[in-house]
Structure 1
Amino acid sequence: MEEYVTVHYDSGISLLMCKVTNMSESQEIKEIKRVYAGLETLYHTYFPKSDPSLIHDLLWRLKKNPNITPIYMVEVFTKTGVNTEAAKKYIFEKTGMVPAIYDKGTHYVTNHKLSFGMLKEISDSDDVLEVAGDYTGNITARGSSHVHSDDCPLRNPDYAY
Structure 2
Amino acid sequence: MSGIDTIVKKFDEFENSMKEGLPKVDQRLVIDMLHRMKRDDSPMYTIEIFLKEKPNTEEIRSIIEQGLGVMPAFYDHGTHIVVAHRFNLQMLDYVSNNLNVEKIRGTFTGAGRGASIGPVFERDDRPDY
TM-score by length of 1: 0.68
| 1:54-109 Cα shifts (integer Å, max 9, x gaps) | 111111112234xx421110111112131012212322233332211111110000
Q: Within 5 Å, give how 1:18-57 maps onto structure 2.
A: 20=2, 28=4, 31-57=6-32
Rounded Cα–Cα distance in structure 2 between residues aligned with 1:145 and 1:33: 32
Question: Taking structure 1 as reference, are residues 70 and 77 closer, same or farther at Cα in structure 2, changes over 3 Å only?
Answer: same
Matched, 1:98 2:71: yes
SS at match of 1:63: coil
Measure, in 2, the Cα distance between the counterparts of 1:43 and 1:153.
17
Q: 1:154 to 1:59 in 2, by over 3 A?
A: closer
Q: Compute the RMSD of aligned alpha carbons.
A: 2.1
Partner Cα distance (1:153, 1:75) in 2:
12
Higher relative contact order (CA 8 A, sep 6+): 2
Q: Which amino acid aligns with 2:61?
A: K
Provide the C-alpha distance between the structure 1 equivalents of 2:96 and 2:15, rounded to a whole number of angstroms: 16
Q: Give the ranges of 4+ consecutive aligned residues of structure 1 lying more than 6 Å apart after TM superposition.
A: none
**Are positions 1:144 and 2:119 aligned together?**
yes
Task: State the structure with more CA Rg.
Answer: 1
SS in 2 for 1:75: strand
Quick one: percent identity of the two aligned structures?
30
CA pair 141-64 structure 1, distance change in 2 beyond 3 A: closer
Query: Judging changes above 3 Å, is the alpha-carbon distance between structure 1 residues 141 and 121 closer, same or farther for their aligned structure 2 residues?
Result: closer
Query: TM-score, normalization: structure 2?
Result: 0.83
Residue aligned with 2:24, SS: coil
